[in-house]
Structure 1
Amino acid sequence: MGTPTGTPTVRERILDHAIILIMERGYNGFSYRDLSELVGVKTSSIHYYFPSKEDLVLEAVNEYSDNVLNSMQEIDAALPADTQLAKYAELFDSALSDGNQICLCGMLAADIRWLPESVRLAVQTFFTANESWLAKVLAQGLDERPLAVNCTWDSAARMLFAAYQGSMLASRLFRTAARRKEIEAAWKIMR
């Protein structure tokens, strides 16, 4: 996006910084004042684009979700299931970036008590979309080779997604991506 010269608009810069702050600090960990300092605009300018924090965070969730879900859809469904899962795991590596950030929706899920209902529903939609994609890939894996799962594919997908989300928290806590890598190693051993 951006202007015709490729420079991000003020709105885009606000949204980009908000996404980073949410991934680092959560819902209550930043203010419009923080954003105004990062973007170099008055808080009234932020209110012009996003009248309330709910509006801003909902837009951030939608932007983040669209990016992640588009990346998931770009994973070739014709690839073997284990290759698809490996490519999916790489999405978590990119979210970890410098180790101070985790999945935006995972961070917000931890803040569920303070989230407006619209944001909670958007985060829930993100989780459900990831779990559905994982269930489809896991079921494909069964067709490719025997897999032992003592639950439904939907349950297995929820457990795997929860493991990835949890590994991001632990990776941040211990300041190492090794925790996320352990999840990938575990499902490789199970197959």
Structure 2
Amino acid sequence: MPSHSTSSPTKAEAKRAFLIEQATLCLAQHGYAHVSLRDIAKASGVSLGILHYYFSSKEDLLLAVISGYKDSFIQELENALAAEPLEGWLDRLLEVLHGSLTEKKDIHRLWYDLQVQAMYVPAFREQVNLLRTRIHELIARLLERLVHQETHLLRIDLDEAVTIIYAQVDGLFFQAMLEEAPTAANALTRFKPTISQLLNLIFTIPKERGES
């Protein structure tokens, strides 16, 4: 007798995914502070009791929303920065950032909302640190690939370089999120020279090899 496929979601999993999707829309539009579980239940067409069955609190639901989005975002970064050939990685990165500053802007700003809440809610702090660590590791792998090509030599410690790059790019990205959507293209034009300058600061590029 053929066995049932384990890849098909159960009804409970499908329901949970639907509620996360509806919560994402509500939170992205109004922000964490201005949305209650009752609002999300109403938008989802379910009772508050049903929503509580799947999520113990609004904090629990926000963690599910952000975790899902950031998993997707980090996977896009992974695809951009780990792709072969390495040449063109910056343009691929800018394409991912452009998507987050335009069609995904409302959802991505929840990431910053979560980081603010993490100052007060320990559960959020743990999730924020986990996600930031994943991005740091991705940047480290990119820098190691540049070094492995022997076209770049690090001037400073790898961990320091990762911290500098993350802080600078995240700061620029946050500033772009605060601006109006039409400025996304302008923001990206600032990203490329800034990242290039950062690379010049943290790398020595051997003259005989030239730039990558």
| Mapping for residues 24-173 of structure 1, pairs under 5 Å | 26-75=31-80, 77=82, 79-81=84-86, 83-98=88-103, 99-115=105-121, 117-144=122-149, 145-146=151-152, 150-173=155-178
1:116-163 residue CA offsets vs partner (Å, 9 max, x unmatched): x2321111111011011112212322344236x653222222222223
Aligned residue for 1:162, secondary structure, equals helix
Identify unmatched segments of 5+ residues in structure 1: none
Letter in 2 for 1:184: K
Partner of 2:190: 182
CA contact (8 A) 2:24 2:107 kept: no
Higher relative contact order (CA 8 A, sep 6+): 1
User: In structure 2, do the counterparts of structure 1 residues 110 and 129 end up closer, same or farther at CA, with 3 Å as the change threshold?
Assistant: same
Mapped to 1, the partners of 2:139 and 2:164 lie a distance apart of: 10
Q: What TM-score do you get using the length of structure 2 for normalisation?
A: 0.70
Give the structure with higher Rg (CA). 2
User: In structure 2, do the counterparts of structure 1 residues 75 and 23 end up closer, same or farther at CA, with 3 Å as the change threshold?
Assistant: same
CA contact (8 A) 2:118 2:124 kept: no
Aligned residue for 2:108, secondary structure, equals coil
Q: What TM-score do you get using the length of structure 1 for normalisation?
A: 0.76
The structural deviation recorded for 1:55 is 2.0
The structural deviation recorded for 1:21 is 4.5
Mapped to 2, the partners of 1:141 and 1:68 lie a distance apart of: 22
Mapped to 1, the partners of 2:30 and 2:173 lie a distance apart of: 14
Letter in 2 for 1:96: L
User: In structure 2, do the counterparts of structure 1 residues 59 and 100 end up closer, same or farther at CA, with 3 Å as the change threshold?
Assistant: closer
Mapped to 1, the partners of 2:194 and 2:188 lie a distance apart of: 10
1:52-73 residue CA offsets vs partner (Å, 9 max, x unmatched): 1232122223322322333334
CA contact (8 A) 2:115 2:128 kept: yes
1:98-120 residue CA offsets vs partner (Å, 9 max, x unmatched): 444435433311222232x2321
Mapped to 1, the partners of 2:168 and 2:29 lie a distance apart of: 19
Greater mean alpha carbon deviation, residues 153-162 or residues 79-88 = 79-88
The structural deviation recorded for 1:166 is 2.1
Cα RMSD of the aligned pairs, angstroms, is: 3.1
